Amino acid sequence: MPINPADSPVFGTLYGSDAARAVFDEGAWFGHMLDVEVALARVQGRLGIIPAEAAAAIAQAVTVLDAAELAASVRNVGYPVVGVVKALSRAAGPAGAWTHWGATTQDIMDSATVLQMRAGFDLIAAELDAVIAGLAHQARAHRATAMAGRTHLQHALPVTFGLKCATWLMPLLAHRARLAQLRPRVEMVQFGGAAGTLASLGDRGLAVMLGLAEELGLGAPLAPWHVCRDGLAEAVSYLGLVCGSLAKIATDIVLLCQNEVAEVFEPYVPGRGQSSTMPQKRNPIASEYILAASRGVQALVPLMQGAMAHDHERATGPWQAEYLALPQAFVLTHGALAHARTIAEGMVVDAARMRRNLDLTGGLIVAEAVMMGLAPHLGREAAHHVVKHACDRVIEGGALEGGMTLTDALMQEPEVARRLDREAVAAMTDPAAYLGAAGVFVDRVLAAV
């Protein structure tokens, strides 16, 4: 029975994705260790460090890893590489004596982990692009859809739903750029031998490291990074940032779909988000699991950053701690992105409800606009005083219950009535006429997409 719900056949669809689990599956990791060992043999065979025929035999060996045998080896040794090398050597026959030549356990495990991360980043990049495309479509479609902007959960000024989508989208564009920038720093081969000197290979150590990097399609570090864990820590920190931005979207969706607001909803499938006792419920399940996954990933960031404190030339504990965090972080982030994609591509937007909510306060949401509009006629200080007095009367008159509007109250102010007619004042109190540069900002974000 899985302990982590991200690995569960029941909860796994909510806490992760099959694709990410396949990449970070334990069996896939062991398979990558074999890939690294075979690539090492090929390189050393080409360089004449081991016999070419031995390299060929190792490369062609059909290696079957026996789970029970491997588990027994790991329990005894503490690492899987000894068991993996033993199985490969056995499969290669006499040539197996040349396997793992000059390498150390961490070379193989770290390089295999990097291969997993490379595939994991491919998944993250593809899903991130899909979320970006979905939000870009919504921003474009709702560029001019006016809605109430809210600060401290209260009406502030009118905005557009297109601007809100563009605001959700903007950090994701930065994350796309960050991913392209960090991958060369993270996707580097590990090969340093017992203590990072490759002394067992004499003067051929660097050539083998460079050749192994090329063989695996990875970058070559300036020197072995056995105890330089910033790349792995950066990778998980990056995933924490992605999840933070997704959590912002999910938080807004949860708030917008409340019955009292009812402006935006997650796409509905019959039975999705239902309650066991309340038939009317359509809970924002995707958003809830984005928030849960985000908290999980962000809790793993300190673990990875704390694991950077490796002692001397090989760590006693921090290295092992990384494996508790790294696969989880990738799986949970990919799952969160999949939920975000569902929302971005299929959200249900009620523009009419947005307009009704804008009008809830009888025009108070554009009090700033009215003040600025009256200032040329009355002077700024006098305009502020008049509008404040009118706002107080609207609040006392119960705008939420269909009482006095801001236009009504302003027309009762002698200074206003003498200078402007009702039509001019009503135009000032139209929320859709006070959107500032919202459309321009949407266009700028879309251009960056």
DSSP 47-111: TTSS-HHHHHHHHH------HHHHHHHHHHHSSSHHHHHHHHHHHHGGGGGGTTTT--HHHHHHH
DSSP conformation letters of 204-245 = GHHHHHHHHHHHHT-B--SS--TT--HHHHHHHHHHHHHHHH
Q: CB neighbours of 89 closer than 8 A, spacing ≥ 6?
A: 96, 97, 99, 100
More confident residue, 66 or 99: 99
From 90, 185, 200, 275, active-site residue: 275
> 113-141: per-residue pLDDT in tens?
999 999 999 999 999 999 999 999 999 99
Active site residue 118: no
Of 282, 314, 353, 355, which one is the catalytic site residue? 314
Whether 304 contacts 324, CB under 8 Å: no
Nearest CA to 61 among 42, 81, 82, 47?
42
Q: Check residue 1 and give its pLDDT.
A: 58
**What pLDDT score does 368 carry?**
83
Q: At residue 2, does pLDDT exceed 80?
A: no
**pTM tops 0.85, yes or no:** yes
Q: What does the pLDDT read at residue 371?
A: 87
pLDDT at residue 78 greater than cutoff 90? no
**Residues 361 and 154 sit within 8 Å (Cβ to Cβ):** no
Give me the torsion for CA of 247, 253, 254, 259, rounded to 10°: 170
Residue 56 CB contacts under 8 Å (≥ 6 apart), including other chains: 45, 95
pLDDT at 369: 84
- The CATH class, in words, for 363-428 is mainly alpha
Give me the residue spans of the domains in the chain. Answer: 5-24+104-351, 363-428
Identify the H or E element spanning 10: none
Q: Residues 146-173: pLDDT tens digits?
A: 999 999 999 989 999 999 999 999 999 9
294 belongs to the catalytic site: no
Q: Helix, strand or coil for residue 307?
A: coil
The CATH number of 5-24+104-351, from 1.25.40.10, 2.60.120.260, 1.20.200.10, 1.10.3720.10, is 1.20.200.10
416 touches 425 (CB < 8 A): yes
Burial letters for 359-374: b for 16+ Cβ neighbours within 10 Å, e otherwise? eebbbbbbbebbbbbb
Q: Between residues 295 and 319, which one has the greater pLDDT?
A: 295
* CA 84 – CA 30 distance, rounded (Å): 7
Terminal-to-terminal C-alpha distance of the chain: 43
State the average pLDDT over residues 290-309: 96
